[in-house]
Amino acid sequence: MPRVAAIVEYDGTSYSGWQAQAHAPSVQHCVEEALSFVAGEAVAVTCAGRTDRGVHALGQVVHFDTGAARSPRAWVLGANSRLPDSVSIAWAGEPAPGFHARYSALRRAYRYCILNASTRSALRHGRCAWIHRPLDAAAMHAAAQALLGEHDFAAFRAVECQSKTTRRRVERIAVWREGDLVWLDVEANAFLHHMVRNIVGTLLEAQAAADPVAAVTRVLAGRDRRHAGATAPAAGLCLLRVDYPPQFAIPAPRGGFW
């Protein structure tokens, strides 16, 4: 049975998260209903990484198996005609044999946005976390470099995280300021539940410490969630992209929004 891959973007504000749930709206349910309509049969999708309630995605990747023969254009346009404005299929195609949206991924990239201003923004509501106290983005960036490499990230996992191992490899992490916006980019082979939001919360506390780098280093080495910062709001988080080996020919998501 042919396997189809797709890139999905969504505003997660109104959803309980990616994963389908019996009594709450989910992105997965919307996508499966739309694709099933195009296929003329039930379609079940597998994603690269489940996102939480209120988290957005520019480059979520999914795959599904179907006996329906449709062109990439038909999958995209047909599904989008059935999707709400907050969810869109940006690309679809048949990858090389052996592709799996989750297990074939080399790395995931997330971006977190903070509005660092004295007043909240109506237009950025749901897309940024609002923090009114002054933030030192340079100190946050320096402290974040302590997380580079492969480590035990137990201090940054959610209590309900079900991962069998807490070791992850962070390949890139950067914090910078653009006017009233403070951005954080982080790329890793995989992430624990709430890992990015807990990193952000820890950096928000560490940036005010006498030695921000030492503060984050202690949290990482301690492997104790109680010593890390509070979980940052979901609204500021976006799954930017998922990278795969080139033989699968999964394109980069369209940019310009995050």
Q: In the numeric block, which tokens belong to residue 236?
A: 């500021």
Residue 188 has a pLDDT of 98
- How is domain 3-104 classified at the CATH fold level? Alpha-Beta Plaits (3.30.70)
pLDDT band at 258 (very low <50, low <70, confident <90, very high): low
pTM tops 0.85, yes or no:
yes
Q: pLDDT digits over 149-187, tens only?
A: 999 999 999 888 878 899 999 999 999 999 999 999 999
Q: How far apart are CA 207 and CA 185, in angstroms?
A: 16
Q: Which residues contact 159 (CB under 8 A, 6 or more apart)?
A: 225
Residue 257 has a pLDDT of 64
Q: Does 107-238 match 3-104 at the fold level?
A: yes
Mean pLDDT within 24-38:
97
Q: Mean pLDDT of all residues in the chain? A: 95
Mean pLDDT within 68-89:
97
Which is the catalytic residue, given 11, 52, 185, 211? 52
Q: Is 180 considered catalytic here?
A: no
Compute how many other C-beta atoms are within 10 angstroms of the C-beta atom of residue 247: 12
Residue 93 has a pLDDT of 97
Mean pLDDT within 81-107:
97
Longest dimension (CA), the chain: 61
| Yes or no: domain 107-238 corresponds to CATH 3.30.420.40 | no
Structural domain spans, the chain: 3-104, 107-238
Residue 234 has a pLDDT of 95
Q: pLDDT digits over 80-91, tens only?
A: 999 999 999 999
% of residues, the chain, pLDDT over 70: 99
- The residues with which 92 forms a beta bridge, in sequence order, are 6
Amino acid at 133: R
